[in-house]
Amino acid sequence: MSTLILSLPPARPGPATEYSYTLTADGHTALRHAAAAPALLPEPTRPGGEVVAVVPARALSWQRVQLPPGLPVGTGQQTPRLRSVLEGLLEDRVLDDAAQLHFALQPGARAAEPVWVAVCDRGWLREHLQALEAAGRRVARVVPEFAPGPTATGRPELTALGTPEDASAVLTGLGADLGVAVLPLTPMALAMARAGAPEPGAPQAGADDDNALAVRAEPAVAALAERTLGQRVALHTASQRALDAARSDWDLAQFDLASTGRTRALRKAGSVASALLNAPQWRAARWGAGLLVVAHLVGLNAWAWQERQALAAKQAAVRSTLTQTFPKVQVVVDAPVQMERELAQLRQAAGSVSARDLEPLLAAAGSALPAGSQPTGIEYTPGELRLRGVPLAPEDEAAFSARLQAAGYRMRQDDGSLLLRAGGTP
């Protein structure tokens, strides 16, 4: 799925504010990365793409709290009551007024268990989201640059970022709670990170025995980090960090900043549709679906062609039967109608009657009517006989209709009279 990942500046938005962005098609590789004003930001390249905003580590603080038992905390249950509970739990831990802060619970949070709460300035976050939406870049998710929990390497990590004049170290995967800490880039930060790392020689999958701590740095501060920490560091760009953050399960857009359930459902459906249409892992399924559609179209066209051929053969046989039986018919327009007309003329010439004539209709009605039933009036038109003044009980009417059907006639009640016809439904 195409994704535009934006890094939110630490200052409030203004006329000259620019956003660093990373554009990716698969969530793992950057197609483009740069910085631009909101109106000049690129759009996701595919339908169903989303915009993800990344909150920098310095703009967040992390608090570990335990929610009261029985408090609903799931998606769609972030009520003012839950907000009030969080304000009460955190008011003594934060420096600012809790009412001016934005809170976000960790994914899968449950009551009566310790949970992580992300805290940031609500006005700052809201203004950035509004500025992006005004520029046509509505943010679908808000994710933290670094989040508590296990790291990709499974051990504590230290990431140096910033500029040489204002460098900082972000420690992740620390302690039993796997928390996050932001410190100045000093040897003390390295010592704190090593305190949470396994001892050299201890079993640790994927870790070097000489250095179980993963140390990374942005290119701008890589040299400073090596001098300060006294060891080599791996380069890790801001674009790579943004891609890592966008793949997390976190979404800080909660409470008053949360999207509606309908919006989330539509966004998820769009993301799934985009993945099915564009993701490489679904290429085989797309080819299979396309081949299945083509096979069905070919089969339907072949079946329709066969049906047309069979119908044309039957029509040709009927026309041939008409012209062979009645050689004087030179032009065939409607073979069944013309054949019936010719048969009627033959019967008339021979003095015979058909099932549509008066005598057969009267004979069928006389044999089917209950004993003692006599009509008070009879009307005849070619192929139709109307009997008036014949009241029938429901059971007699059913028996009368059954006997007529056995003789090849149909009957129905019409304006207080019985209407008989030969052949099809009257």
Lowest-confidence segment of 73-87, 148-162, 257-271, 379-393 by average pLDDT: 257-271
Beta bridge partners of 142: 53
pLDDT of residue 362: 85
Over range 181-203, report the average pLDDT: 75
The phi, psi pair for 278, rounded to 5°, reads: -125, -25
* pLDDT above 90 for 45: no
Measured between alpha carbons, how far is 212 from 219 in angstroms, rounded to an integer?
Answer: 22
pLDDT of residue 132: 94
CA distances from 148 to 167, 249, 254, 266 (A): 21, 11, 18, 29
pLDDT of residue 304: 94
Packing angle of the helix pair 283-325, 335-350 (nearest 10 deg): 20
Given pLDDT bands bounded at 50, 70 and 90, which one contains residue 204? Answer: very low
Domain ranges in the chain are 1-147+248-278, 149-195+211-237, 287-349, 353-422
The phi, psi pair for 33, rounded to 5°, reads: -150, 135
State whether residue 169 is helix, strand or coil: strand
Domains 1-147+248-278 and 353-422 share a fold: no
Over range 265-269, report the average pLDDT: 57
Over range 64-92, report the average pLDDT: 86
Question: Is CATH 3.30.420.380 correct for 1-147+248-278?
Answer: yes
Given pLDDT bands bounded at 50, 70 and 90, which one contains residue 169? Answer: very high
Given pLDDT bands bounded at 50, 70 and 90, which one contains residue 48? Answer: low
* 240 vs 43 pLDDT, higher one: 240
Given pLDDT bands bounded at 50, 70 and 90, which one contains residue 201? Answer: very low
State whether residue 368 is helix, strand or coil: helix
**Whole-number average pLDDT of the chain:** 84
Check if the beta carbon of residue 193 is closer than 8 Å to that of residue 158: yes
Question: Is CATH 3.30.420 correct for 353-422?
Answer: no
Handedness of CA 406, 412, 413, 419 (dihedral sign): negative
Check if the beta carbon of residue 105 is closer than 8 Å to that of residue 85: no
* pLDDT above 80 for 409: yes
